[in-house]
Amino acid sequence: MAKKDYSEYQKSVISNYYTNLDTIMLGKLGELLGELYLAETEKKKKQLWQRVHKAMEKLNIPETIINHIMEHQDVEILAKNLQDWQKAPKRKQ
C-alpha cells in the first residue's frame, strides 16, 4: 500500500479525531441507547447490541464490564454505565 501524503489541514483533522475519539464514541453510545429504547424487532435490537459492543471496545471499557452489559443486554444497565463514563474525566492517550 502506498504511503499517503496528507496536507497539514488533513493531518490536524485526523489528529483531532483521535484526540476526541472518547467523546465521539460516548456520543455514539448515547445514540445507540436511544435507538435501543425505540427498537421494536429482535433483529434490530441484536444489530444495535453488536454496535454497542464494538463502541465499548473502542472506548477500552474493561472486558468484565463489557461482558456484564452484553450478558444482560439491559438498556438500564447500559444507561447507568454510560452516565458514569460521561462524568469520568477524559483520559489522555
Burial of 3 (0-12, 13-18, 19+ CB in 10 A): exposed
Q: What share of the chain is helix, strand, coil (3-state, %, to 5)?
A: 75, 0, 25
* Residue 76 cell numbers, joined: 438500564
The reply to whether 79 falls in a domain is: yes
- Using alpha carbons, list the distances in angstroms from residue 51 to 4, 8, 28, 41, 79: 29, 32, 9, 16, 15
With respect to residue 5, please indicate whether it lies within any of the assigned structural domains. Answer: no
Containing H/E element for 39? none
Does the residue 93 lie in any domain? no
State how many domains the chain has: 1
Per the structure, the complete domain to which residue 50 belongs is given by 10-87
pLDDT, tens only, 13-44: 999 998 998 999 999 999 999 999 999 999 99
pLDDT tier at 4, thresholds 50, 70, 90: confident
